[in-house]
Structure 1
Amino acid sequence: MSCILKIREVYQELTPTEQKIANYVIEHGDQVSVLSAAELGELVKTSPPSIVRFARKLGYAGFQEMKLGLVKDAALQHKQQDKIYEAVSIHDSTKEIIYKIGKENMKAIEETMSVVDETEMAKAIDAMTKANHINIYGVAASGLVGLDLQYKLMRINKKSSMYMDSHTQLASAIHMGKGDVAVGISHSGRTLETYKAIETAKKRGATIISITKYGKNPISDLADINLFTASVEKNLRTGAIASRIAQLSIVDILFVGIARNNFNEVSKYIQATREIVEDFKV
């Protein structure tokens, strides 16, 4: 995962001093890659140990490894691309909105694929394939993603339920047990309703799968299996659009993986659901 993307994904969790470092790295990544911790500290008016702690917060062993990350990820190119992926403005023409939203969605998918952990995804697919029952939790835009996952699972006859209301979430979670799977979907990883639901399910012995943005957050900390997405929220709720697209990409991977594990039976189920709704086509 690119160094710049790591910074953007954890930016809101950084301290004011760390945000000052982050801003400088994003704007001057090519320059930072040849500086020492002391030199960067002097430029942003902080100490070398603060620079090292910042690098470690991003998951690097130290500042030197972070600099290597900047070199590998071509930080200068990232900075230039960001001029294309601007937030939608109220002054934009229809043509500009079409272009920006299209680019933002493509960027969300591309960057999400760069943070998907193959091992974690395989574990999630295996757990859901073997699950007695799957409960899906999410609210607002993430709830719509949950409904899409539940619909896909229904088509292949996989027992699942989706809950968006906090009361029904908790009522369903309390009846989960070993062999069940709870999927918590939240872009921020901090949605209280979703957190409470998977916390309850975990106490009952269910396996917890989280779908959140990349980085440390309460929901991913609670989960047994973490599936991360990458999209940076911007003005006019375009972030909610991009994060939904990223989450739907994860849902599609899960669905295809589960279907692959039981392909012969799944083919019959999909054909049956296709035939049953055929009469409703005009």
Structure 2
Amino acid sequence: METTLIQIQNMYSSFGRGERKLADWLLQHPSELIGLSISELAAACGCGDATVIRFSKKLGLSGYQALKVNIARELGGSFIGNTATTESDSALELYQKHCSDIILTLERTRNRLSGNTLEAVAGALLKARTISVFGLGCSASIALDATHKLVRLGLSACAYSDSHMQMIIASHLTAEDVVLAISHSGSSVDIVNSLAEAKKNGATTICITGYAKSPAGKYSDYCLLTNAEETKHSILAMTSRIAQLTIIDTLYIYLVLHGDDKIRNAINSTEEALETKKF
């Protein structure tokens, strides 16, 4: 069966100028593709996002994500995060390697995060009439965790992991509302569309992502940036989830420490109500 890279070589003469730039880059740097958002790849090749999508579809693929998956699969190998793994690794050795990847991700994220942006986001959350938290796929559980913490503080937050509901909610938001979206790639079509709709209606838009130069970043007033070099040959979000959760925990702690009496009263009320849930 013809691989994607061989298909690119065979179809090279049929590509337009922008598509040839993409083809040249992919043939020279295939292993670097998995770490790039669609906007970053386009910038690296000197073309637009639309060219990347058109190029992917010309190869018979549904879009950029499918292109990444195919090339990653074809390159083969077993790399989890930044640490090479082998079938001979014991369960404990795999755990230790994964811990090393998590520590590296948290260190890189700490160096990338903006303190001013964190505080601005915390302020927006405190003042919001409602907080809609959007996440799909692996990010859905992160959105639920964020909502759990915000609600404990007495804030009006709700998580949405259905793309239709996200768009419906976004269409009814105002300048008094906030959207917090979680997307490691920043390229989830439904997340981007919901952010665009919310921003159009005046809501404050926030995204926790690994890529500032991504479609989601274009529609976000604030980007909280993680730095997780997810698998070289897999797209499953692993260490990025830990970085996202750590950012959410940080916002929660900041709000507890800097919130007003209303926040503190809400925490006390929450703890008292939950006492009946434990023996």
Same fold (TM over 0.5): yes
Task: Tell me what 2:154 maps to.
Answer: 157
Match of 1:119, SS state, is: helix
Task: Tell me what 1:86 maps to.
Answer: 83
Task: Tell me what 1:242 maps to.
Answer: 239
Match of 1:173, SS state, is: helix
**Cα distance 1:243–1:16, how it changes in 2: closer, same or farther (>3 A)?**
farther
1:206 maps onto 2:199 in alignment: no
Task: Tell me what 1:226 maps to.
Answer: 223
Match of 1:137, SS state, is: strand
**Cα distance 1:156–1:277, how it changes in 2: closer, same or farther (>3 A)?**
same
1:174 aligned partner, one-letter code: S
Write the deviation string for residues 43-81 of structure 1: whole angstroms up to 9, x where unpaired.
xxxxxxxxxx97xxxxxxxxxxxxxxxxxxxxxxxxxxx
- 1:133, 1:19 → 2: CA distance? 47
Task: Tell me what 2:99 maps to.
Answer: 102
Contact 1:87 1:238 in 2 (8 A): no
1:272 maps onto 2:269 in alignment: yes
**Cα distance 1:84–1:105, how it changes in 2: closer, same or farther (>3 A)?**
closer
Contact 2:134 2:179 in 1 (8 A): yes
1:187 aligned partner, one-letter code: H
2:197 aligned partner, one-letter code: T
Contact 2:153 2:267 in 1 (8 A): yes
84-93 or 271-280: bigger deviation:
84-93
15-24 or 124-133: bigger deviation:
15-24
TM-superposed CA distance for 1:17, in Å, is 4.3
1:140 aligned partner, one-letter code: G
Match of 1:92, SS state, is: coil
Write the deviation string for residues 230-263 of structure 1: whole angstroms up to 9, x where unpaired.
1011168685120100111111122222223314
Contact 1:188 1:212 in 2 (8 A): yes
The partner residue of 1:193 within 190, 193, 196 is 190
Equivalence map 1:13-24=2 (5 Å): 16-17=24-25
1:149 aligned partner, one-letter code: A
The partner residue of 1:261 within 246, 258, 263 is 258
2:268 aligned partner, one-letter code: Q
Match of 2:185, SS state, is: coil
2:255 aligned partner, one-letter code: I
Identity %: 30
- 1:241, 1:152 → 2: CA distance? 21
The partner residue of 1:178 within 175, 178, 184 is 175
**Cα distance 1:113–1:16, how it changes in 2: closer, same or farther (>3 A)?**
farther
- 2:87, 2:134 → 1: CA distance? 33
Contact 1:112 1:230 in 2 (8 A): yes
TM-superposed CA distance for 1:215, in Å, is 3.9
TM-superposed CA distance for 1:87, in Å, is 4.2
**Cα distance 1:215–1:94, how it changes in 2: closer, same or farther (>3 A)?**
same
- 1:123, 1:19 → 2: CA distance? 42
Task: Tell me what 2:111 maps to.
Answer: 114
TM-superposed CA distance for 1:122, in Å, is 1.7
Unmatched segments (≥5 aa) in structure 1: 1-13, 25-52, 55-81
Number of paired residues?
215
1:136 maps onto 2:133 in alignment: yes
TM (norm. structure 2) is 0.69
TM-superposed CA distance for 1:277, in Å, is 1.7
Unmatched segments (≥5 aa) in structure 2: 1-21, 33-42, 45-78
Contact 2:81 2:231 in 1 (8 A): no
2:91 aligned partner, one-letter code: T
Match of 1:240, SS state, is: coil
**Cα distance 1:19–1:247, how it changes in 2: closer, same or farther (>3 A)?**
farther
2:276 aligned partner, one-letter code: D
TM-superposed CA distance for 1:18, in Å, is 9.0
